[in-house]
Chain A
Amino acid sequence: MEHIDWSEIGQATLDTLAMLGGSLVLTIVLGLPLGVILFLTGRGQMLENRLANGALSLLVNVLRSVPFVILLIVMIPLTVALVGTSLGVAGAIPPLVVGAAPFFARLVETALREVDKGVIEASFAMGAKRRQVVLNALLPEALPGLVAAGTVTAVALVSYTAMAGVVGAGGLGDLAIRFGYQRFQTDVMVVTVVLMLVLVQALQMIGDAVVRKVSHK
């Protein structure tokens, strides 16, 4: 363990957590409405609109088909325009959000499709407005699925933050690439990998616990 500088590893861990936290919040803020709109404009749904649904679906597919490493590089000018730098935690968040939000939106759409149509019909039969149906019936009924979608997205974001190390984002991935890979410091590599593993495991356990808590099936 000769190469290990624990203060550097501590800082890298904090950077990874900051990237993860910031990008997860923004991914949910952007991806949830996008997923809801994808669902509501779909065939047979209450705001059925083939044009809007087709356009959004295409956008989501295009963004999802770009490999994340490529997206990181392609996004650099936009990232600089948005946050003033393409480096560090701040520079990593825009590409992380653009990479993860379409993925999360698709998971949201799938979770909403799982909601029993009968419950939606019953809500309308009780005199609910569309907005009330979405906010008071559709989203609450999909809550366990939405939490599971958030968990999967958070885990995916952990691996995205590691890749962001390639373009100088900082964090555990950056440490692994600069020291573990480029300088053959295997001990640094092992420690960073173990820390990420612990992070992923913790996220999954928290997510599963919340799903159990909110699910009453």
Chain B
Amino acid sequence: MITFQDASKTYAAGGHAALSDVSLSVAAGEVFGVIGASGAGKSTLIRLINGLETPTGGKVIVDGDDVAALGVEGLRALRRRVGMIFQHFNLLSGKTVAQNVAFPLKLAGRPAAEVKARTAELLDRVGLTAHADKYPAQLSGGQKQRVGIARALATHPKVLLCDEATSALDPETTEQILDLISGLNRELGLTIVLITHEMDVVRRVCDRVAVLEAGRVVETGPVERVFLHPASDTAARFVREADGEAAAAPGVGGRLVRLTFKGEATYKPVLGEVARATGVDYSILGGRIHRLRETPYGQLTLALTGGDVGAAIARFQAAGVRVDDLSSGEGA
């Protein structure tokens, strides 16, 4: 659906590059996350998709079209197939909720009856029918983002771009908006690209993720892989920020191992069983138990002492737990 081919963007001639040689592809129906710190180039990357920015090198292909090669009319047509929502919602303050949702349809010159019917349908989908005649200033942040989402869906887009869509919202509202976005992906088959600086957002809704650092993609992969076994320092740092992780524990003896549980294994009493059977003792140095979309997972960092450590590791693996030996620095 979306392909970046060595796309680069430099603002001033000879200036610092916001994006360098980015190659990515986003499949139809996928929720694709782009995570990076502020200034990493996320905003530029997402704006290349709907032509709000033009690459200075390489290409961006969206739904079969080279975005930079489209004429004015072609670009407008593309933008009707690519909805976008924003961190600060960007609603028209002088228009009501219903008028905001109707705005893209009016711009496209749709007939009044169609605009009215479609607006009612969209307000119903985002649960704002009762607020149709209010102005944005009278709404909460979560409601404003719902208006933004309804507006972005008005022209039946195939792709939804989310520009830090939940960064201005409180945790509870963030969850509701992410649920709404996930629902759109499932029910409408919408392809979603979201940029964020929060790994938690990626963990909750994304299928795959690209990690951006200083304008370059340093890691791309399924969220599960990047989250549980980050290959780049940047990804590892975002994971630590999201979950907190065992700090190095100097002075703790024994074999240091990290266990990764997924799915069913997460809730089984594996640790106790293995300890009893092999006589090892364990100190828990850090850990987390969470969900990746619908899949529960846990990760624990342990120091194992006494008993038969080798047998304990074998038993963990037999129970479907991945064991990384941190003492030797090698995955077991």
Contact = CB atoms under 8 A, between A and B. Distances in A.
Contacts, number: 68
Given A126-B79, A216-B137, A116 B108 contact: no
B52 A124 contact: yes
Interface in A113-139: 116, 118-119, 121-129, 132, 136-137
Interface residues of A, number: 22
A118 B86 contact: yes
A183 interface: no
B12 to A, nearest CB: 13
Nearest to A128: B107
Q: Chain A interface mostly helix, strand, loop or mixed?
A: helix
Interface residues of B, number: 27
A133 B250 CA distance: 61
A217 interface: yes
Contacts of B104: 126-127
Contacts of B204: none
B interface, by DSSP: helix, strand, loop or mixed? mixed
A127 B108 contact: yes
A197 interface: no
B107 A217 contact: no
A214 interface: yes
Interface string A174-213: 0000000000000000000000000000000000000000
A15 interface: no
Contacts of B135: 216
Interface of A: 116, 118-119, 121-129, 132, 136-137, 140-141, 143, 214-217
6 contacts: A122-B90, A123-B103, A126-B84, A126-B155, A129-B107, A132-B107
B76 interface: yes
Interface in B94-109: 94-95, 103-104, 106-108
A113 B93 CA distance: 15
B151 interface: yes
Given A140-B94, A216-B93, A125 B52 contact: yes
A141 to B, nearest CB: 6
B91 interface: yes
Interface string B51-92: 010000000000000000000100011011010101010111
Nearest to A143: B94
A140 B93 CA distance: 9
B191 interface: no
A216 B94 contact: yes
Contact of A136 (B79, B88, B106, B155): B106
A124 B107 CA distance: 10
Contacts of B77: 127
Nearest to B136: A216
B50 interface: yes
Nearest to A129: B76
Contacts of B94: 140-141, 143, 214-216
4 closest Cβ contacts across the A-B interface? Answer: A122-B90, A216-B135, A118-B90, A127-B79
Contacts of A124: 52, 79
A123 B108 CA distance: 12
Contacts of B106: 136
Nearest to B103: A126
Given A125-B79, A127-B155, A132-B107, A141 B92 contact: yes
A141 B80 CA distance: 22
Most buried by B among A118, A122, A140: A122
A132 B72 CA distance: 14
Nearest to B154: A126
A86 B138 CA distance: 53
Of B50, B92, B136, most A-chain CB atoms within 10 Å: B92
Contacts of A123: 103, 107
A136 B92 CA distance: 10
Contacts of B95: 140
